[in-house]
Structure 1
Amino acid sequence: MMRFFQWLHRWVSLIIVIQVLLWLVSGFYFSLNGHHGMSGHQYLEHGDHAMLSEVAPTVDVADIRQRYPDAKTIRLHSIAGIPQFIVTSVDDTHYLNGLTGAVWTTSPELATTIAMSTYNGPGDVQEVSAIQGSDEILNWDDAGYQVNLEDDLNTRIYIDAASGQMLNHRNTPWTLADWAFRLHFMDYSGGRSFNHLLIWSAGLLALWFSLSGLILLINNFAKGDMNPRRKPTMLEHLQREQKPVASSCGGGGTCGLCKVTLEGDDLPAPTPAEKILLSESEIEGGLRLSCQHRVDDKYSIKLPDHDAATVTLELATRRLLSPSIVELTFNSSEAVSYQAGQFMQFCIPHREQVLTRHYSMATSPDPHRFVFTVRQMPSPSEKIPPGIGSTYLCGMEKGATIEAIGPFGDFILSENSQRTQLFIGGGAGIAPLRALLQTELSRSQPRSCVFFYGARHVNELCYRNEFTGVDQLEYIPVISEPKENQGWKGATGFVHEEVEAWIRNQDVNQLDVYVCGPPPMLKATMAMLAEAGVPRDQIRFDDFGI
């Protein structure tokens, strides 16, 4: 539940921060321009109407009363020096020419005259257009005219055809102000309303933000996080002591890399994060995430990666495995003992800091030779930079060196099992799976292996020739975009769907499963395995907490 509230709090806060920024920017715009600068009335002429004695109608009001016996009011008005009767009834309003008694009509020439009688700016008429309503005039969908003036503000004057009335002036400052109002009041429909669904939703989100924040705050108090004298978490303690412990989520309990074994009496109960990221057998064996518990004298901490050390790697070769995946081979003068499936933590220099990125070894163990597959992360747009770690590593020249810490990880082959070894991968997840397969198949009596590997295109099937036609290995490549791979005769679709079809004919209790690949593929595969009934203790996965 706490993970849900953390997720909710984080994303709702992002939405609220964006809206607060919009409020600040639009509010600053209001203060800077003032009411008059945003009204659109910079060149509006507030002139006096002609005296009715000067525009006396030739039609008698009695005749108007006779034509409209249900009229509630009959008013005399002046439009550009022409008398006009406005007859109001219960259901409608009629506009009549006071000189002829006919229904009022507004010609383009009259509309221009009316518009210019309300204009005191420097511009001349540029265009007169007949229109049917306008988004710039609220609640007006009738026939009329838009008179455009050629001036410095791009003034537009709207005239209603039925009444001959000038509805309003609009210009470029008004358009900017209108959008500022929309942003400020979250009224993107232009209805100029404070009472709409979006602002109700914003209120509910703000309420959720407050409630989730309060729950997280109470949880922090309960855990002692707000106490300046609190004991550090095991992860913090190990990092301060510069002990070899991996983490990619900063102690948030989402990556599952900072595993330690606790020894002693009365071990702490597993947290919700540990119940998700660790298997029951791991929890029963004393395995915990060091970021989830504080240092306590009641039990000791045993590091699974106590042999991890900092080594200097020198780039030996680089080759392109697919359009997006590069194979990098490093040499080390220092011998490093590691198991297939483990990874190294690269120290990537970036500006004035050092970032860490995790990459799995892609071959069976060799103490002086390390092979990694790196997915090049291009820039999705001009404003977003490409992946820092992949860009640096793929840009290294032969002979260049870099520091790495390791080995880390427990994504290793199962022992004391004669079950079928099922490998499921995609993309750069090929690295640890290839190392595991090489190690298993090099044994004197390898177990039966099945390898499903998914890619979008044929040219993205890394190491395809290496896995084809190997004894003890059933290799099933799966292409998700067959239309772009004409001539492909193999499996198509998503890789987890192919595995699901295969696994229906298997005894799930006789499978050891290894999964590594992109986050969506990993999530879908883990859900499919759970649905298929594969015991959780027989599933191992590696996602570096992405």
Structure 2
Amino acid sequence: MKNPLKASWKRPATWFRWHRWLGYLIGIQLLIWIIGGLIFAIVPFQTMVKGKDLVSKPSLQLPEQWQLNFSKLTTEHGALQGLQSIASAHGFALRLQFKDKNLITDLHGTPLPKPSQDQIQTFAQQLYRGHGNLEAVRLLSAVPRQLAIVKELGTRTNIWLAQFKDSQNTRLYFDANTGEYITVRTDAWVWYDFFWRLHVMDYSEGEDFNNTLLRIASMLALLMMLTGVVLSVRNLLRKRF
């Protein structure tokens, strides 16, 4: 007597049934992978997504005969472990790295005051290289999510937003405490990040491409492909093409 279960695996209807149900389970995600891959391939990353043509970072060069009183800083905050020049709404500034904290100061080691709205506006216009006009400068406690899952600045809080009216809806962000330029964001960046999160199936941070959901979806997609291969080979052998 034949084993019904063993016999069912020989029938094309069984393979087609598995192929169809796997398609129901993974079809939408496969479509998302294809659309996302197409976007990643055709959208210019540096210019449209990163906004390299929209912002010109100022060149930073220490003034001649500049000198910082390191002994005073060492006494107050411990040993100085690093020194970096940065651009801020106050002009040329320094990031001083100590063991337990970082300080943003002027050239003489004095901590910078919080920038005003006018200073942020002037600094944003200096950095912007697009063809739009500055629409608004706002102080935000946090950046609202875009498209429900996109976080333009991650978990950063207390920032200035300079909004420009152009084709990319360009947004420049600055640290509200120091006036330091953080980054530029555009609508292209939002859509790119949105599809990236859908692509890797990490809807919170968009950085974990080894998560459980992605593993399961990948295995289901592989099974769907294998069942399709079996059906195709059977049809080819029986000359049903």
Q: After TM superposition, is the score higher than 0.5?
A: yes
Q: TM-score, normalised by structure 1?
A: 0.35
Q: In 2 relative to 1, CA 207–31 (structure 1 residues): closer, same or farther, beyond 3 Å?
A: closer
The code of the aligned residue for 1:89 comes to F
* 1:125–1:147 contact (8 Å) kept in structure 2: yes
CA distance in 1, matches of 2:196, 2:65: 41
Q: TM-score, normalised by structure 2?
A: 0.72
SS of equivalent to 2:43:
helix
Number of corresponding residues: 220
- Give the corresponding residue for 1:128: 137
Deviation, structure 1 residue 78? 4.7
CA distance in 2, matches of 1:227, 1:155: 58
SS of equivalent to 1:178:
helix
1:65 aligns with 2:46: no
1:37 aligns with 2:37: no
Deviation, structure 1 residue 166? 1.5
* Aligned with residue 154 of structure 1, among 154, 169, 175: 169
Q: In 2 relative to 1, CA 53–81 (structure 1 residues): closer, same or farther, beyond 3 Å?
A: farther
Which protein has the bigger strand share?
1
- Give the corresponding residue for 1:11: 21
1:473-512 to 2 correspondences below 5 Å: none
* Aligned with residue 153 of structure 2, among 137, 145, 162: 137
Q: Which runs of 5+ in 2 are unaligned?
A: 144-150
Q: In 2 relative to 1, CA 168–88 (structure 1 residues): closer, same or farther, beyond 3 Å?
A: same
* Aligned with residue 84 of structure 1, among 68, 74, 93: 93
CA distance in 2, matches of 1:56, 1:104: 21
Which protein has the bigger helix share?
2
* 1:83–1:99 contact (8 Å) kept in structure 2: no
1:188 aligns with 2:198: no
CA distance in 1, matches of 2:43, 2:225: 34
SS of equivalent to 1:42:
coil
SS of equivalent to 1:114:
helix
Q: In 2 relative to 1, CA 20–122 (structure 1 residues): closer, same or farther, beyond 3 Å?
A: same
* 1:82–1:99 contact (8 Å) kept in structure 2: no
SS of equivalent to 2:137:
strand
CA distance in 2, matches of 1:7, 1:155: 49
CA distance in 1, matches of 2:160, 2:41: 33
SS of equivalent to 2:111:
coil
Deviation, structure 1 residue 119? 0.7
1:105 aligns with 2:114: yes
What root-mean-square deviation, in Å, do the aligned CA atoms of Structure 1 and Structure 2 show? 3.5
SS of equivalent to 1:125:
strand
SS of equivalent to 1:66:
helix
Listed one character per residue, the Cα deviations across residues 50-101 of structure 1 (whole Å, up to 9, x for unaligned) are: x3217958x7333222211243224454535634332212333222344572
* 2:89–2:180 contact (8 Å) kept in structure 1: no
* Aligned with residue 126 of structure 2, among 117, 123, 126: 117
CA distance in 2, matches of 1:207, 1:157: 42
SS of equivalent to 1:14:
helix
- Give the corresponding residue for 1:481: none
Q: In 2 relative to 1, CA 77–34 (structure 1 residues): closer, same or farther, beyond 3 Å?
A: closer
1:411-422 to 2 correspondences below 5 Å: none
Deviation, structure 1 residue 104? 4.4
SS of equivalent to 1:154:
coil
The code of the aligned residue for 2:183 comes to N
CA distance in 1, matches of 2:87, 2:48: 30
Deviation, structure 1 residue 18? 2.8
Listed one character per residue, the Cα deviations across residues 221-250 of structure 1 (whole Å, up to 9, x for unaligned) are: 7xxx87639xxxxxxxxxxxxxxxxxxxxx
The code of the aligned residue for 1:120 comes to R
Q: Which runs of 5+ in 1 are unaligned?
A: 230-546
* 1:56–1:83 contact (8 Å) kept in structure 2: no
CA distance in 2, matches of 1:147, 1:158: 6
Q: In 2 relative to 1, CA 169–74 (structure 1 residues): closer, same or farther, beyond 3 Å?
A: closer
CA distance in 1, matches of 2:18, 2:178: 54
* 2:90–2:179 contact (8 Å) kept in structure 1: no
- Give the corresponding residue for 2:63: 53
- Give the corresponding residue for 1:24: 34
CA distance in 1, matches of 2:211, 2:124: 34
CA distance in 2, matches of 1:10, 1:82: 62
1:200-279 to 2 correspondences below 5 Å: 200-209=215-224, 213=227, 217=230, 228=238
SS of equivalent to 1:91:
coil
* 2:85–2:93 contact (8 Å) kept in structure 1: yes
Deviation, structure 1 residue 147? 1.0
CA distance in 2, matches of 1:78, 1:115: 11
Seq. identity, % = 23
